[in-house]
Structure 1
Amino acid sequence: MSDSVRRVDDGGPASAAAVSSLGAVLSAVTLGFLFLSLTRGPESAVIWGGAVGALVATGAFLASRYGLLERAVAGPIGAGSSLLVVALSAFAIMQGTLGSVVLPGLEWSVSSLFAAFFVGAGVVGVGVAEYAHLSGRELVDRLTLTVEMIALAVVGLFGMSIAYLFLELPVMLAVGEPTATQQMTLEYLSTGVGLGAVAAGYLAYREHDWSFIDLEWPTRWTVAWIVVGSLLIIGVNIGASSLMTFAGIEGSEHSLTQDILENPSLLVIIVPAMVLIVGPFEELLYRNVVQKSLYSTFSRTGAVVVASVVFTLVHIIAYATAGAGEILASLSLLFVLSLILGGLYARTENLLVPALAHGCYNAVVVSFVVL
Structure 2
Amino acid sequence: METTRSEPEPETNGAVAGVGAVAAAVTVAAVAQPLQTGLEEPTLWAAAGLAIVAIAAFLAGRYELLDSTVAGAGAAVSSVGVVVLAAYALNQGTTGGVDVGVLPWSVPLVFAGVLTAGVTGGVAVAYATGVDLPGLASRTLWFGGLLVFGYVGLEIIQLVTGVLAVPVFLTLESPTDVQLTILTQIGMVVGTTVVVAGYFAVRELELSYLDVRVPTIRDAIWTVAGLVVIFGALFLISAVFYTTGVESAEHGTAQQAEQDPRILLVLIPASILVIGPFEELLYRNVIQKSLYERFSRYGAVVVGSVIFAAVHVLAYATAGAGEVIASLAVVFGLSIVLGTIYERTENLLVPSLVHGIYNAILFANLYLSFV
User: Into which bin does the TM-score normalised by the smaller protein fall?
Assistant: over 0.9
Equivalent position of 1:88 in the other structure: 85
Residue 65 of structure 1 and its aligned partner are, at CA, apart by 2.1
Partner in structure 1 of residue 18 of structure 2: 21
Aligned 8 A contact 1:261 1:369 in 2: no
Matched with 2:173 is 176
- Find the residue that maps to 1:264 and give its secondary structure: coil
Write out per-residue CA displacement over residues 304-335 of structure 1, whole angstroms, 9 at most, x where no aligned residue. Answer: 00000000000001011222221111111111
CA contact (8 A) 1:23 1:123 kept: yes
Q: Distance in 2 between matches of 1:138 and 1:220?
A: 39
Aligned position for 2:161? 164
Name 1:6's counterpart in structure 2: 4
Task: Name the structure 1 match of 2:123.
Answer: 126
Equivalent residues of 1:9, 1:16 under 8 A apart:
no
Q: CA RMSD in A?
A: 1.6
Residue of 268, 271, 280 corresponding to 2:268: 271
1:105 deviates by: 5.3
Aligned to 2:251: 254
The 1-side partners of 2:177 and 2:105 are apart by 39
Deviation string, structure 1 residues 21-71 (Cα, Å, up to 9, x no partner): 1011111111111111326556x1111111111111111112222233221
Shift of 1:118: 0.4
Q: 8 Å contact 2:12–2:133 — kept in the other structure?
A: yes
Residue 89 of structure 1 aligns to a residue whose secondary structure is helix
Residue 105 to residue 180, structure 1, CA distance change in 2 (3 Å): closer
Letter in 2 for 1:172: F
Within 1, Cα distance between the matches of 2:48 and 2:257?
Answer: 43
Whole-angstrom CA distance in 1 between matches of 2:233 and 2:190: 31
Q: Count how many residue pairs are aligned between Structure 1 and Structure 2.
A: 367
Kept after mapping to 2: 8 A contact 1:311/1:338: yes
Distance 2:2 2:249 in 1: 37
CA distance in 1, matches of 2:17, 2:102: 34
Q: Distance in 2 between matches of 1:166 and 1:101?
A: 41
Partner of residue 36, structure 1: 33
SS at match of 2:262: helix
- Match for residue 190 of structure 2 among 179, 182, 193: 193
- Name stretches of at least 5 consecutive residues in structure 1 with no aligned partner: none
Whole-angstrom distance in 2 between the partners of 1:204 and 1:159: 16
Is 1:283 equivalent to 2:295 in the alignment? no
**Aligned equivalents of 1:119, 1:198: Cα separation in 2:** 31
Partner residue in 2 for 1:150:
147
d(CA) in 2 for partners of 1:316, 1:4: 26
User: Structure 2: how far apart are the matches of 1:83 and 1:267?
Assistant: 37
Q: Does 1:52 align with 2:49?
A: yes
Question: Counterpart of 1:138?
Answer: 135
Within 2, Cα distance between the matches of 1:46 and 1:165? 45
Are the equivalent residues in 2 in contact too, given 1:28–1:58 (CA < 8 A)? yes
Q: Please give the alpha-carbon distance, in whole angstroms, between the structure 2 residues aligned to 1:232 and 1:72.
A: 30
Taking the aligned partners of 2:107 and 2:153, their CA distance within structure 1 comes to 28
Q: Is the contact between residue 126 and residue 136 of structure 2 (CA under 8 Å) also seen in structure 1?
A: yes
Q: Aligned partners of 2:196, 2:290: CA distance in 1, in Å?
A: 12
Select 2:65's aligned residue among 65, 68, 74: 68
Aligned identity (percent) is: 42
Alignment deviations for residues 241-288 of structure 1 (CA, whole Å, 9 cap, x no partner): 122012111211100002212212222211111111011000001011
1:300 counterpart (294, 297, 300): 297
Query: In 1, are the aligned partners of 2:83 and 2:117 still within 8 Å (CA)?
Result: yes
Q: 1:18 is matched by which residue type in structure 2?
A: A
Q: TM-score, normalised by structure 2?
A: 0.95
Note if 1:333 corresponds to 2:330: yes
Residue of structure 1 in register with 2:205 after alignment: 208
Deviation of residue 133 (structure 1)?
A: 1.0
Q: Give the whole-Å Cα distance in 2 for the aligned partners of 1:24 and 1:105.
A: 32
Asked whether 1:115 is paired with 2:97, we answer: no
Please report how far the alpha carbon of residue 166 of structure 1 lies from its aligned counterpart in structure 2 after TM superposition: 2.1
How many Å separate the matches in 1 of 2:102 and 2:53?
33
* Offset, 1:193: 1.4
